[in-house]
Amino acid sequence: MTTPDTPQARLDAVRQRIRTACQKYGRDADSVNLLAVSKTKPVSDIEAVFDAGQRDFGENYLQEALTKVADIGRDPARGPDWHFIGAIQSNKTKPIAEHFDWVHTLASAKHARRLHDARSHELPPLKVLIQVNISNEPAKSGVAANDALALAESILQHERLELRGLMAIPQIEETPEAQRVHFRRLAELQAHIRDQLGQAAMQDLSMGMSADLEAAIAEGSTWLRIGTAIFGPRQKVPTE
Ligand SMILES: *Cc1c(COP(=O)(O)O)cnc(C)c1O
């Protein structure tokens, strides 16, 4: 028996929340992927969650992430698969391209080119999502919704990148109904861009965190990025 405050027990509780929400909103449970966001958490917590069957892990801070990836490793068959979900700096694109499987926070054509140029031919193409500032907040990263199509077209020029979809961290609202409005806007933008591109790219929607995963599932999320609900509260955010 695990006690309720271990990462494994919290992972079980999150999986149950996902199943319940999928049932409620008529989603196939296999269509919703869980990304365990392990920023600031120790390698031992990541290993405990990995041993419980969790494959995908998300990190925000590059130096911290590189230490963990080096420590835990990256086995193409077994995982973990590492997702970069932090702010990208131009001079850090090379280590991101070398050590990650996914990037959720791509927001410029320049970074796309740099990631492409640095991605080894020995690795599969880097899977990328475009971060959209879907709630139009002045201080938030991400491209404006109106610029997402142009960035998508530019990413499609790079064969070392695989364009997977859109990501957003919307403004936080008081009610699930109000939260859903932001998620729905991202889903509608994705549908519009897929229509314009006329191809099968961009099937993923990275949206939903610990507090609002049900609202995100209701609006079509395929990647939930869950930190606190799995690993417990974070102490403080390190700076780089
Ligand atoms: C920290 C973080 C999360 C996880 O947030 P929780 O509320 O702890 O689940 C998800 N996405 C991004 C981009 C983050 O930085």
Pocket of ligand 1 contains residue 169 by CB under 6 Å: yes
* Ligand 1 atom closest to residue 225's alpha carbon, by position in its atom list: 10
Pocket of ligand 1 contains residue 216 by CB under 6 Å: no
Pocket of ligand 1 contains residue 228 by CB under 6 Å: yes
Both tokens of 61, joined, read 């801070």
| Residue 211 Cα to ligand 1 middle (Å) | 10
Rounded-to-integer distance, Cα 99 and Cα 117, Å: 14
Contacts 24+ apart (CB under 8 A), 13-22: 13/229, 14/213, 14/226, 14/229, 14/230, 17/213, 17/214, 17/229, 18/213, 18/217, 18/224, 21/213, 21/214, 21/217, 21/218, 22/217
**List of the chain residues with pLDDT < 50:** none
The amino acid occupying position 91 is N
* Ligand 1 site-directed mutation target among 225, 230, 234, 240, most atoms within 8 Å of CB: 225
Pocket of ligand 1 contains residue 207 by CB under 6 Å: no
Q: Report pLDDT for 167.
A: 98
| Residue 125 Cα to ligand 1 middle (Å) | 25
Q: Are 145 and 185 in contact (CB under 8 A)?
A: yes
Q: Report pLDDT for 102.
A: 98
Q: Report pLDDT for 203.
A: 95
Both tokens of 21, joined, read 């929400």
What is 90-118 written as a DSSP string?
GGGHHHHHHH-SEEEEE--HHHHHHHHHH
Q: Report pLDDT for 57.
A: 98
Closest CA to 166 of 221, 116, 234: 221
Q: Report pLDDT for 1.
A: 52
